[in-house]
Amino acid sequence: MLSTTDRIEILQLHARYCACLDTGDAQGWARCFTVDGEFGVCNMHRGRDRLAVHCADVVARRRANPWDNVQHWNGNIIVEGGAGRDHAMSYPATLGRQRDSGAQAIVANGWYRDTLAQEDGAWKLSSRRIAFETPASVIIPQRC
């Protein structure tokens, strides 16, 4: 069973993940993962060093997007588990400002499916998979 402190720290991890990604802090984003953590859609990037390279690449490629001022928002965070390891899901939505019109828009949304683990006393993502199409309901963590 997760403690209240665990739940607050996991929410902080979700927020820090977005802030690092949106401000271009590739090292900080990679530190949201365990040393052997993984991230991806189908092809997974594994290990914190590779994750940092991947994030820096994503940030660099943003210049080609028709929007800037990107912001990742999280919602519907569900976390279950305990004993130092747990499972979570959440909704991400990406907001951006169109370079041509200045209009704000939702430029992407999806589903995160996570495994979290404590590493050196801090909650980290050991795995994060993103889906852009509605997944099956098995993604929802079972109540402990």
The site map against another protein for 20-59 (x = CB under 8 A) is ----------------------------------------
Question: Of 27 and 109, which CB lies nearer to another protein in the complex structure?
Answer: 109
61-84 as b/e: b if 16+ CB within 10 A? eeeeeebeebebeeeeeebebeee
User: Would you say 5 or 43 has its CB closer to another protein?
Assistant: 5
The Cα–Cα gap between 138 and 64 comes to: 36
Query: Cβ distance 97 to 67 under 8 Å?
Result: yes
Give the shortest CB-139-to-another protein separation in angstroms.
Answer: 7
Choosing from 28, 40, 47, 135, the residue that interacts with another protein (CB under 8 A) is 135
Q: Which of residues 105-134 bind another protein (CB under 8 A)?
A: 105-109, 132-134
Amino acid at 7: R
